[in-house]
Chains A and B, each alone.
Chain A
Amino acid sequence: MEPLERYRPIIDDFDAFLEACERPLGNAARVNTIKASVERTLTALEEEGLAYEQADWNSRVLRLETGSPGSTWTSFHGFTHGQEEVSAVPPVVLDPQPGERVWDSCAAPGGKATQIAALMDDRGTVVANDNNLGRISALRFNAERLGATSLAVTNADARNYSLNRFDFDEFDRSLVDAPCTCEGTIRKNPDALDNWSEGAIASVAGVQKGILRRAVQATREGGTVVYSTCTFAPEENEAVVQHALEEEDCRVVDFDIDLEYSPGLTEWDGDEYDSSLERAARIYPHQNDTGGFFVAKLEVTA
């Protein structure tokens, strides 16, 4: 937990934060409405005798009381998909609509890409990209199990992604759920901080900046780009969005989500960020008893 000490000055009730980081996380699942309605899924869980709790902020997100959420009928049928509660936030903020063209630039293993497809009623085009061929097999497996027919899967570096392979030349919306140092996943994965270093943060931040810039370029004017990570480091969050604001035509916009969170930072370690970064959300483990996440919503401007 030592690397997290650097966040003591910015996190309210830091001791509660540390305590939450040490508690293991329960099992959460998302209802996959491509396969079944929320109502039918809940009935199916009850038939199996599985206890659940619906998240206050999203009726499609469930906390399950079972040791093996994959060995359930609802999972076999693809009615549910194991996904951490906060991980379901970015697609909701992205708010994709049926019929749109949407890019998920770092899509494997596919939890968010299939959630985007479900939010679009599986109508439209969701381009799910990942640069890691090994993880693409997991993405494909999940997409087929969940019955997403609107997904096109590509294997490329998102930083110089080409739309030449398709018939269209821009997206309506893009999600950059960037590779990161994953500090926020410590409750699920106790090894998350083992390879932590400031050097690792600096190196991954360069990649994050490249992907976010490309996402803004590839999205139409007036379109939406959501940037998210599962880490607390401002270098990987506000500083990356700040870079996009400086280099590309975009602005940070507000969003509503019925979860407790803290505003984005406007300064860190001697650097100042645009005041609009307060509109971003820092979700800490002690606020909603979840993992940690950062989410910012951008609008592409002229």
Chain B
Amino acid sequence: MTDDSDADAAEIERNDGQRFDRLPATPAERTVEGRVSREEVVDYFDDRFGMSPETFDDYTFWEKGAGKIWIYGGEAPTPLEIEAIGMTCLRTRQEHWKPTTDFVQRFGGHATDCVIELDREEARAFATGEDQELERWEGDWGYLIGAHEVAGQFEPLGIGLYVHGELRSMVPKGRQREL
């Protein structure tokens, strides 16, 4: 009981998982405990996948839910209590940040690193949600973008986790398809 006034007085707020809050531009501007900044998100996409930061110049990033980051191209004030804006793009507040399949399908074409090229059969297994042995990857372990060729261009399929010579499909159940 005696701690209530201390909590109210704290400068760093706790995350309210029910509403959208725009990410602070930099870590120095953080006012919510554990919240990542726009700079950290854009740097992550650049460092891990080689997506140039300009890719996201026309977008804002938001948090709703613990560590669920959303990318949005429209107008909105912060905070905002509605159902959704744009699309979920990244999970933070866990040891390894994890991009979403839908984000990777939409923006993965901008990636130059950590993209694993799959042939048609491998792509089919990936879309079905199957894990598969793929010994040919010599890059970093961790989250990779699975891609295959469609109509003359590589097209991202979604996110996979590569460890110990195995590519585990992270395509969510509702997005898996038998092709």
A: residues with CB less than 8 A from B are 34-36, 40-41, 43-44, 47, 70-73, 75-78, 101, 122-126, 136, 140-141, 143-145, 147-155, 165-168
Contact = CB atoms under 8 A, between A and B. Distances in A.
Interface in B114-157: 127, 150-153, 155, 157
B177 A145 contact: no
Contacts of B157: 76-77
B169 interface: no
B29 interface: no
Interface string B71-96: 11111110011111111100000000
Nearest to B176: A76
B28 interface: no
Contacts, number: 105
Contact of A72 (B82, B102, B105, B179): B179
B151 A147 contact: no
B105 A101 contact: no
Given A150-B86, A153-B85, A73 B73 contact: no
B58 A151 contact: no
A153 B84 CA distance: 5
A76 B82 contact: no
B82 A154 contact: yes
Contact of B105 (A41, A43, A44, A78): A78
Contacts of A71: 177-179
B155 A123 contact: no
A144 B77 contact: no
Contacts of B178: 71
Given A44-B151, A166-B77, A73 B179 contact: yes
B125 to A, nearest CB: 13
Contact of B73 (A35, A47, A101, A149): A149
B95 to A, nearest CB: 25
Nearest to B75: A125
Nearest to A167: B77
B74 A125 contact: yes
Contacts of B73: 122-124, 149-150
27 contacts: A35-B106, A40-B151, A40-B152, A41-B151, A43-B152, A44-B150, A47-B150, A71-B177, A72-B179, A76-B175, A76-B177, A76-B179, A78-B106, A123-B73, A125-B74, A144-B87, A145-B105, A148-B86, A149-B73, A149-B86, A150-B73, A151-B85, A152-B84, A153-B85, A155-B83, A165-B80, A166-B75
Contact of A149 (B87, B150, B177): B87
Contacts of A141: 174
A136 B83 contact: yes
Given A77-B150, A136-B83, A151 B177 contact: no
A151 B75 contact: no
Contacts of B177: 70-71, 75-76
Given A147-B102, A150-B74, 18 more contacts: A41-B151, A73-B150, A76-B127, A77-B155, A77-B157, A124-B74, A125-B74, A140-B84, A145-B102, A147-B106, A151-B86, A152-B72, A152-B84, A152-B85, A155-B82, A166-B75, A166-B76, A166-B77
B84 A151 contact: yes
A77 B82 contact: no
B45 to A, nearest CB: 14
